[in-house]
Amino acid sequence: MHKIALFIFIGLEFSVLQGLYAQPSKASDKQVNALLAKMTLDEKVGQLNQYTGDRAATGPLSKSADKLEEIKKGHVGSMLNVRGAKDTRMVQEVAMQSRLKIPLIFGLDVIHGYRVTFPVPLAEASSWDMEAIELSARTAATEAAASGLHWTFAPMVDIFRDPRWGRVMEGAGEDPYLGSLIAKARVKGFQGKGLGNTDAVMACAKHFAAYGAAIGGRDYNAVDMSDRQLWETYLPPFKAAVDAGVATFMNSFNELNGIPATGNSYLQRNILKGKWNFQGFVVSDWSSIGEMIAHGFVENKYEAARVALTAGNDMDMESRAYTENLVQLVNDGKVPVKLVDDAVRRILRKKFELGLFDDPFRFCDEQREQAVLNSPESKKAARMVAAKSIVLLKNEKQLLPLSKSVKNIAIIGPVAKSKNDMKGAWSVYWDGKDDKDLVSLYDGIKNKVGNDVSLSYAKGCGIKDTSRNGFAEAVAVAQKADVVIMAVGESADMTGESKSKTNIHIPGVQEDLVKAIQATGKPVVVLLMAGRPTIFNWIADNVPAILYTWWLGSEAGNAMADVLFGDYNPAGKLTMSFPRSEGQIPVYYSYKNTGRPVIKEKEILYKSAYTDSPNTPRFAFGYGLSYTTFEYSNLKLSKAAIHNNETLIASFTLTNSGKYKGEEVVQLYLRDMVASVTRPVKELKDFIKISLEPGESKTLSFTIDKEKLSFYNQRMKRTTEPGRFELMIGSASNDIRLNSGFELVD
């Protein structure tokens, strides 16, 4: 039972705020200031306080005193983990009993869909399809807003290069350029036509900053990085979110170079609110203000509150540091009231923009909720996005797509019939419930082939099993089939917050199960399901057809069946390099050449190399196959040299040289050959996703301008330097099909 139901609603009648705040939903400073002028210090501090309801607690609950009483006293500005039109209305009604009747903001981790679940963000990123990603966020926002929510704690725009970190499932991958585009698409999707529309929720760019660089991939661990690394790699998606108009930011649990992000004024005051002129508000991560004590950065919560507010943290999520100490801090002269006012203003402005002062219940309409949730269009969108998220890693002898006339299919593996895993982590709507509507791989195939094909099934083993007892039955099932489809991987709860691992091989005896089935001599297709890159070298070397399907959401099984039977030709490309072993981590495509690069794979003595493994990843950034093939030809550069203010056009021909209609993600990489600061061997600068009919050719072009050639120089000023650039166009970071060079002249 959830706690909100336990809250005793004291039956005061809801009084509509007729007249009092009857103003247009666009905030003006005048309105905000007028309200601020009426507030006591106690009420101001209340606006900066966020409590949790019952759901999805991701940290220890702070003492759960009578939160409704606190709300009534005006001591709460926002609630998280209260959702549903009915529950949010009930709690909002309590806020309407407070002296100034300032409505609450309801926030929730709506990470990848709400009622209809979409693929986990790392999967969606593999689509390289900004429209699809925006549609996913749009659909989630529409459902969430109909469920009384005003705010999602998404997108997570952290860059990461360490698949041991469990939260990789929540982000867009290793690359700052692609990560920035995806950040923008997600913010646009969540915020739709703008706050004030009842199908838009506030987005929240998180976790500011560098949370994805936790040492050793261990969640919440310290981060130590150069300013260059921060600005080049980790900050760009946050800046993109600001440019896209993101309403809020969340800071992070980690320290950055000795200073916890929550108390970091360089990040929050100098960069975010200063240089980037961010006008929204910053919420702490769950209890991260109080956690500055454990960091060894402050002695007590009094100090924690002072440091956090001074550093630019506006709202306190569940530390109670602000509510317990801010009034005192102001009275003691330790925090200027104008800092409190600034934080309150930022929050009130959003409440006005959301239209909550016009009608605090405009998001709490149970009828609308019923009508909007789980619509056929949303399910259709989820199926489409899921199919686009699948990455074809291997397809020897064109084993895929399967013919629909195949007569006997064996479906084997511990995740083949799993429904709940399809949701992936962070499906808060479904916390603690089974979603009967989720489509497993088995059900998806059944839906596709109907009764014309005989399907047999064996689990073979559990995900973490060490026992091989189920192998014999699985082998017997495989032996009777024309083709075997295997589903192996992690369980959904192995990724997500606090799910770091030192061993990211697929767990248990699953790889042995694949070996046993492969030994039958039957054609085997392996579907790998996980929320992170995993290691499966034997499968990669020996199984003819492999699809990486991640966690695909409500429509997972249907989308997988669409791809298996060729109704959708896969086009996903990895956005995170897959290591060969944990020892290679971090492995990423945009590495530095070093003074001793490996030139020939076998010649590694006194080179920057491992003696027991190639440097290259198992599957590279940007990699993913299609059922068709693409040829790249005829590269032409408009000029051999350009001046700083000029543009260069690189045009080329792309031909679908195979038998199927298909989409290709054509990638443009550049390398600045010599610069005052060494540059990576390759940096993604642009890409085109295009669909071609079999035999069709198109001339495509990339425009190269100053922005694509610039970098942070020794004084951390973004600039260009004259010199030679290598231009590479290809199907993956390790599959460059066309290259050339040009000169940037003064």
Nearer to ligand NOJ, 82 or 728 (CB): 82
Nearer to ligand NOJ, 80 or 210 (CB): 80
* Chain residues 99-118 in contact with ligand NOJ, contact rule CB under 6 A: 109
Tell me, by CB under 6 A, how many residues bind ligand NOJ: 9
Shortest distance (Å) from residue 329 CB to ligand NOJ? 25
Residue 659: which residues within 8 A CB-CB, separation 6 or more?
Answer: 627, 628, 694
Nearer to ligand NOJ, 253 or 652 (CB): 253
Nearer to ligand NOJ, 161 or 206 (CB): 206
17, 31, 41, 58: which one contacts ligand NOJ (CB under 6 A)?
58
255, 316, 497, 511: which one contacts ligand NOJ (CB under 6 A)?
497
**Length of the chain in residues, anyone?**
746
Active-site residues: which are they?
A: 285
Pair 510, 470: CB distance under 8 Å? no
Shortest distance (Å) from residue 315 CB to ligand NOJ? 12
Shortest distance (Å) from residue 312 CB to ligand NOJ? 18
**Burial label, 538 (beta-carbon count in 10 A; 0-12, 13-18, 19+):** middle
Shortest distance (Å) from residue 204 CB to ligand NOJ? 7
Residue 389, CA atoms < 13 Å, CB-side half-sphere? 35
56 touches ligand NOJ (CB under 6 A): yes
134, 285, 314, 683: which one contacts ligand NOJ (CB under 6 A)?
285
Pair 111, 362: CB distance under 8 Å? no
Tokens of 412: 């084997």
Nearer to ligand NOJ, 208 or 711 (CB): 208
Binding mask 148-167 for ligand NOJ (x = CB under 6 A): -----x--------------
The DSSP 8-state label assigned to residue 498 in this structure reads T
Binding mask 604-643 for ligand NOJ (x = CB under 6 A): ----------------------------------------
Tokens of 557: 């099984």
Pair 586, 564: CB distance under 8 Å? no
Rg (CA), the chain: 27
Closest C-alpha to 228, from 674, 680, 713: 713
Number of H helices, E strands in the chain: 22, 26
The DSSP 8-state label assigned to residue 539 in this structure reads H
Closest C-alpha to 50, from 5, 95, 8, 84: 95
Shortest distance (Å) from residue 290 CB to ligand NOJ? 13
Euclidean distance between CA atoms 124 and 112, whole angstroms: 9
169 touches ligand NOJ (CB under 6 A): no
Nearer to ligand NOJ, 253 or 568 (CB): 253
Binding mask 374-413 for ligand NOJ (x = CB under 6 A): ----------------------------------------
The percent helix, strand, coil of the chain (3-state, each to 5) is: 30, 20, 45
Number of Cβ within 10 Å of residue 686's Cβ equals 17
Q: Following CA atoms 12, 17, 20, 22 in sequence, which dihedral angle do they give, to the nearest 10 degrees? A: 170
Nearer to ligand NOJ, 168 or 409 (CB): 168
Distances (CA, A) of 528 to 402, 549, 618: 17, 6, 15
Shortest distance (Å) from residue 57 CB to ligand NOJ? 8
Binding mask 183-212 for ligand NOJ (x = CB under 6 A): -----------------------x------
Report the residue closest to ligand NOJ, judged by CB.
153
351 touches ligand NOJ (CB under 6 A): no
The DSSP 8-state label assigned to residue 213 in this structure reads G
* Chain residues 547-606 in contact with ligand NOJ, contact rule CB under 6 A: none
Shortest distance (Å) from residue 388 CB to ligand NOJ? 25
118, 286, 442, 623: which one contacts ligand NOJ (CB under 6 A)?
286
Shortest distance (Å) from residue 645 CB to ligand NOJ? 42
Tokens of 554: 């409500």
Tokens of 344: 């309150």
Pair 667, 683: CB distance under 8 Å? no
420 touches ligand NOJ (CB under 6 A): no
255 touches ligand NOJ (CB under 6 A): no
How far is C-alpha 330 from the chain's CA centre?
38
Pair 650, 701: CB distance under 8 Å? yes
- Which residues of this protein are in contact with ligand NOJ, per CB under 6 A? 56, 58, 80, 109, 153, 206, 285-286, 497
